[in-house]
Structure 1
Amino acid sequence: MDTTLSDPITEPLLGNTRQEEKSKIYEPITRSGFLDGTRQECLRWAHLLATFVAQSARNIANVLSEFGSWLARLFGCSASKSSLNGQTVPVNLSPLQEERLRLLRQRIDVPYDCSSVKHQDALKELWRLAYPNRQLPPLKSDLWKEMGWQNSDPSTDFRAGGFMSLENLIYFARNYPDSFHRLLHKSDGKRAEWEYPFAIGGVNISYMLVQMLDLQSGKMRTKAGVHFVQLLEDDDVAFDNLFCVAFRVLDSQWLARQASYMDFNEVLKSTRVQLEQELTIGGISRIQDMPSFRMLKS
């Protein structure tokens, strides 16, 4: 038996049998045939190159399109999230904060009732605090206009602020009497010929604060509101104290702008902006920590 190993060089890479070599016949190439072949080869390469370029362009376009879609989804989701955060801000409140917020919202919902003895007595108390040395006028009298009510019947001027705005004014007079009387009598600075009415100004400030803190919606949708409700833990009259600060800020900005009666709404808006900034600067654990609070003591 022949045990000679086959030559590994001549052994086919696949298979075990040797293939017969095919005979090759030399065919001379004429000049025209050479040119035709060259032209066809060039055309073939040109076609391949054009196909490659076109395919590459499509691939690049697809990549850019996918990347653009990804960016759109990315920023679209971020905007939606930001918008959602602008609508509702989750807040964790303690039972005490929840209760004080509930009571505050109850106060907001109470309109001034001219037939209520309690409300009438509160209005009389405001007069006594404002003018301790003067006789109390009837509930309908032009003397009420001296305090800054628009009508001889103050009960018609509480529409926006409700009964709580009257409570805010009384709190201001009782707890910060010096500041209260300086604003009432326009004692500070160079005053305008046509001043804002004191009492009506207070009603508008109460209403502005309710809007700024978003207290009527039942949801915290403003940063100022979120920070404010945290203050209720240690201060059950935080809103009343904020009212007093707001009144001082408004009068300070009024003087700085040399404003007149027709500028009141603009001054009220700028007052809101300043209060929002102070409530959210950080390190504020009570209204007394606000930078503008010191104006109540000056």
Structure 2
Amino acid sequence: MTLFWLLVLNRIYQSPVLLALYKFYKTCVHLTTMTSELYRISNAAAHQLGWYNELAFLSNDDSELDEEQEKSPLIKSLSPQEQEAAIPPLVVYRIDRSILFSKQLDAERRSLENASGQLDEVADMIMAKKGFAGSKKSETYVLTIQINERAHTKYDSTNSVHEQKLLKLWKALMPDTELESRLTQQWAEIGFQGNDPATDFRGMGLQGLDDLVYYATTHTDSAQRTFSSSRHPVSWYPFAIVGINITQCAVQALRTRQMQYYLYKYGADKKAYSEFYCYLYHRFNDFWISHEQPRLTVMDFEMIFKEFKTQINKELMRHKAMPLSEWLEQRRMEQEELQQQQQQQEDVDNTYINEKQHVD
């Protein structure tokens, strides 16, 4: 079989017509999968060689993950010599052909042909250009592990650090109202279910609290606007509980690799994740209040949240999701442009009126 594919590939690369058709095919696949040929060859080889380690995602939503999603393509602990020996020659040949005929890799190919070229640096540049994102790919798995650990860390009422963070959330949302005591019905004012918020963090652990605090203290205008919307007399919703549901949505997107492109583009770190969370909560509130006829009630939450998650999944697939800070900046610039256009139109209208009055 290997010999057959070698003959086929040789024939393709030797024929201008077949090579043109092959490039057209690769373009179609790239537009469909948003991956490069080099990435697909390497990924297929990793599958074939079984270079996987499993990550334990022990959460309430694990049933939603299929076997493939529960695995992370992390290369096993092999020495470079062992890895090189394990890679089939056909894979090496296909990689070589792909680099040779890639216009995007002209500079890297010349560096490889140069005896003094730094192979590791060239390899990093090739991976960055071809969608491997260099070390970012492994960084996304490290981030997943970190977020999972945080989500599985239970809130501990005897831990002063946990308690201080919870109090920080209250002060960020209710700066003018003092908390009467640790166990109080006041917590319901910011959307917890009972006297003790600790019980509400059981699903997402400390990650749920981390996300709420980051949103409330980093994007204060957006968070206060969302918090105000959540307290509407008719279309209210429990701010903190919904925030924990948003955390569950964000963590699920991270675990199932739906966020990979986002992380490659904006950074595979906790800040990028936190900004994504804020983006989700801001967009959810916009989605909620956009339903005015009739207004939604808390009884509609499950249905609306399902619709919202479907919308976000589409945005992730189309690479439209972005950090809230960037999204807000885009909205600000669009608003300024709209105001300029309106002002220009008013100036034109005023000029026309003045000219007409002068003629009359």
TM-score by length of 2: 0.50
Question: Which residue pairs with 1:106 in the alignment?
Answer: 149
- Report whether the alignment pairs 1:196 with 2:244: no
Alpha-carbon distance between aligned partners in 1 of 2:332 and 2:229, rounded to the nearest angstrom: 15
Q: What runs of 5+ residues in structure 2 fail to find an aligned partner?
A: 1-65, 75-131, 336-360
CA offset at residue 211 of structure 1?
Answer: 2.1
Conservation of the 8 A alpha-carbon contact between 1:168 and 1:243: yes
- Report whether the alignment pairs 1:154 with 2:207: no
Question: Which residue pairs with 2:306 in the alignment?
Answer: 269
Question: How many matched pairs?
Answer: 206
Q: Report the secondary structure of 2:149's partner residue.
A: helix
Question: Which residue pairs with 1:22 in the alignment?
Answer: none
Equivalent residues in 2 for 1:248-263, closer than 5 Å: 248-257=282-291, 258-263=295-300
Alpha-carbon distance between aligned partners in 1 of 2:270 and 2:332, rounded to the nearest angstrom: 19
Question: Which residue pairs with 2:254 in the alignment?
Answer: 213
- Report whether the alignment pairs 1:237 with 2:271: yes
CA offset at residue 280 of structure 1?
Answer: 2.5
Q: Say if 1:277 and 1:195 are closer, same or farther in 2 by CA, change over 3 A.
A: same
Conservation of the 8 A alpha-carbon contact between 2:287 and 2:308: yes
Equivalent residues in 2 for 1:216-227, closer than 5 Å: 221-222=256-257, 224-227=258-261
Q: Say if 1:293 and 1:240 are closer, same or farther in 2 by CA, change over 3 A.
A: farther
Report which stretch shifted further, 287-296 or 134-143. 287-296
Alpha-carbon distance between aligned partners in 2 of 1:296 and 1:276, rounded to the nearest angstrom: 25
Question: Which residue pairs with 2:323 in the alignment?
Answer: 287
Conservation of the 8 A alpha-carbon contact between 1:279 and 1:290: no
Q: What runs of 5+ residues in structure 1 fail to find an aligned partner?
A: 1-82, 215-220
Alpha-carbon distance between aligned partners in 2 of 1:176 and 1:130, rounded to the nearest angstrom: 11
Q: Say if 1:122 and 1:184 are closer, same or farther in 2 by CA, change over 3 A.
A: same
Specify the code of the residue in structure 2 equivalent to 1:211.
Q
Equivalent residues in 2 for 1:89-168, closer than 5 Å: 94=135, 95-168=138-211
CA offset at residue 179 of structure 1?
Answer: 0.9
Specify the code of the residue in structure 2 equivalent to 1:276.
N
Conservation of the 8 A alpha-carbon contact between 1:97 and 1:232: no
TM-score by length of 1: 0.59
Q: Report the secondary structure of 1:237's partner residue.
A: helix
Identical counterparts, % of pairs: 25
Alpha-carbon distance between aligned partners in 2 of 1:104 and 1:281, rounded to the nearest angstrom: 24
If asked which structure has higher relative contact order (CA below 8 Å, sep 6+), I would say 1
CA offset at residue 208 of structure 1?
Answer: 2.0
> Any idea what the Cα deviations from partners look like across 1:241-291, whole Å, max 9, x if unmatched?
11111111211221223321111112222221222222232476x535976
Conservation of the 8 A alpha-carbon contact between 1:144 and 1:153: yes
Q: Say if 1:233 and 1:251 are closer, same or farther in 2 by CA, change over 3 A.
A: closer
Q: Report the secondary structure of 2:290's partner residue.
A: helix
Specify the code of the residue in structure 2 equivalent to 1:269.
K
Specify the code of the residue in structure 1 equivalent to 2:251.
V
Alpha-carbon distance between aligned partners in 1 of 2:296 and 2:286, rounded to the nearest angstrom: 10
> Any idea what the Cα deviations from partners look like across 1:27-68, whole Å, max 9, x if unmatched?
xxxxxxxxxxxxxxxxxxxxxxxxxxxxxxxxxxxxxxxxxx
Specify the code of the residue in structure 2 equivalent to 1:271.
F
Alpha-carbon distance between aligned partners in 1 of 2:197 and 2:264, rounded to the nearest angstrom: 34
Bigger fraction of residues in helix: 2
Conservation of the 8 A alpha-carbon contact between 1:231 and 1:238: no
Conservation of the 8 A alpha-carbon contact between 2:183 and 2:195: yes
2:213 aligned to which of 162, 170, 177: 170
Report which stretch shifted further, 269-278 or 121-130. 269-278
Question: Which residue pairs with 1:50 in the alignment?
Answer: none
Q: Say if 1:262 and 1:294 are closer, same or farther in 2 by CA, change over 3 A.
A: farther
Q: Say if 1:296 and 1:267 are closer, same or farther in 2 by CA, change over 3 A.
A: farther
Alpha-carbon distance between aligned partners in 1 of 2:329 and 2:302, rounded to the nearest angstrom: 22
